[in-house]
Structures are given as C-alpha cells and as structure tokens.
Amino acid sequence: MSVPLSASIADETSAEPVTRSRPALSPSRAADFKQCPLKYRLRAIDRVPEPPTRAAVRGTVVHAVLEDLFGLPAAERGPDRAAELVPGAWERVRAGREGLDELVAAGGPEALFEEVRRLVAGYYELEDPTRFDPDGLEERVEVDLDGEIPLRGFVDRIDVAPNGLLRVVDYKTGRAPGPQHEARALFQLKFYALVILRTRGILPAQLRLIYLADKVLLTYTPDREELDRFARILTALWQAILDAGRTGDFPPQRNSMCRYCDFHALCPEFGGTPPPYPGWPTRDATTTDIDLGLPLVRTPEDV
C-alpha cells in the first residue's frame, strides 16, 4: 500500500530512531537504486566508505582545472594557461582527501598531471572557452519536487546567452556511453533540466555532456511535457526507495556494472553479507554531499 511521500519512515526492526541526515535523489543515487537497491542502501543509508580510484582522482582534478580556467578573464583561457593550472588543482583535491599520494605513487603526480593535461587539451577541440563567460560554475541545484521529493545535484557549468537562452553543461572524463548506457546519460540530462526548470522557471534550451576522453558531445533539447513525465518517473522511483527504506528490503541485483563495485564483500551475490540495516534516517537535516554522490573525489560513474 502506498503512503504519502512526505511521511517519515522508522526502522521497524529498531526501538531507537536513527538520527542521520536524510538521503536525497541525485542522478547518481537514482541510478544506483535502479541498478542495484543494495548498492543504493550501502552508499546513501549505511554510508560505507569507498576507496578512491586513480580514474576518479584524475576526473576530479580535470573538473577542478576547468573550474579554475573559467575563473580567469576570457582572454587568458588558452590551452597553455589551462595546462599551468593542473598542479594547483591537484593540490586542492589532495588537501581535501587523505591517501591520494599513495594512489598516484606509481609515476608520481607528474604522470597524473600529464593524463589530466591530455584530457584538458581535448576540451579545446570541442569548445572555445575564450568566447563566452559562464553564468555558474559547480553550482549546487536543489528543489523539493512537489514539496516532498528532495532532488539535489551539482552542475559543472550553466551558460546564459544574451537572449536569455540557458545551457547546462556537464564534463565527463570517461568515454562516451555505448548504446547500452545511453539511457543513463539521458537520465542525468533530464534530471538537471527538471531541476533548472523548477528552480529558475526556465526551460533549458540545451543540455550538453562533454566526453573528454574521446572528444564527443552529447546534447539534449528538453521538452516541457517530457519533463513533466520525467517528474512522474522520479516520483515513482522515490516511492520505491521509501518503501524499501521502511522494510529494509534492498535486494542485490547482479548486472554489468558489478565489476566496478567496491561492495563485493558486503554483497550476497558475491558471497558477502551486508551489515545490519541501520534504519531509514529520520532527521530532516541539510543534505550532505555524500547523499548526493558528490564526494571530494568523484566515484567512477560520476567522471
């Protein structure tokens, strides 16, 4: 039986309420639940730490470089200047998370710098950053859909043209998705389009994913009726998450992404045992970056 989406959920197996900040829907967390409910639980509810990977660190540094690049005057945003920003971006990322020195020990930071510089150089084949000024960088976007469903995310860049048309841009340091993964990319674009529509009252003219590894642009032109349908999809997804949160039933689901998962030791599909269910968080506190899938070092699927 369905209950109001705003209803609080208590852990039926625990006598004590769990006081942790509430989970929220981001593109990453929504994808987690659709892909594997147990993965969603371990990330969003149990908050099991995940070790960073070299690819995730590289992606985080690339994002930091591009953010710093657009902080410069337009005339100074050439490729040579972008390359010079890499060491400083690395130091910012390194300062925010322990253990990164060991992760890049093979070849040292200079090897990582060269990987980052190659990806940033590829960016210049797709856009000319000297020809426009972004309206927002690494902007946190959030809205409670219909007053009840918390949607949260960070958008890499928002552009607003002189005529008021708005474009949302997200950078990816991995390769462009094949046909089997295009739906996930489209889901992310629709998610951002909906949040922008609800927060700014503007239907974005274009949403763009920039895949730096193979220099591919994926663009999407949203339609208001399509976004209304998408809002109903998110409503149904959130209801399913609340139902699972009430019962603690987050079943594992084996799929092609399992090979990238850090939770094998806790997954019955791989002979592991999940920890006892801690219950759904009951404190309506400010959502943290962990809820959003936005750690100081990005997860592999976020880059």
Contact between 211 and 172 (Cβ < 8 Å): yes
Residue with tokens 């503007």: 202
Give Cβ neighbours of residue 46 (< 8 Å, ≥ 6 apart): 275, 278
Nearest to residue 25, comparing CAs of 289, 238, 283?
Answer: 238
Instruction: Quote the pLDDT of residue 86.
Output: 98
What are the respective helix, strand and coil percentages of the chain, to the nearest 5? 45, 15, 40
Residue 283 is predicted with a pLDDT of 56
pLDDT of residue 281: 87
Quick one: pLDDT at residue 33?
96
Predicted local distance difference test score (pLDDT) of residue 21: 64
The whole-number pLDDT of residue 303 equals: 52
Averages of pLDDT over each 10 residues, the chain, 303 residues: 32 40 87 95 93 90 97 97 97 86 83 96 96 94 90 93 93 84 83 93 94 92 94 96 96 92 95 95 51 43 52
Distance between CA atoms of residues 82 and 70, nearest Å: 10
Outline which parts of the chain fall under CATH 3.90.320: 1-48+138-303
**Sequence-separated (6 or more) residues with CB below 8 Å from residue 141:** 152, 153, 154, 155, 192, 195, 196, 199
Are β-strands 166-172 and 206-211 bridged in parallel, bridged antiparallel, or unpaired? parallel
Place of tokens 């985080």: 60
Cβ within 8 Å of residue 145, ≥6 positions away: 151, 194, 198, 231, 234, 235
Q: What letter represents residue 296's amino acid? A: L
pTM for this prediction: 0.83
Q: Which amino acid is at 27?
A: P
CATH topology for the 1-48+138-303 domain: Lambda Exonuclease; Chain A (3.90.320)
Instruction: Give residue 98's pLDDT.
Output: 79
DSSP for 205-255, written as a single string: SEEEEEETTTTEEEEE---HHHHHHHHHHHHHHHHHHHHHHHHT-------
Q: Comparing C-alpha atoms, which of 243, 241, 239 is closest to residue 12? A: 243
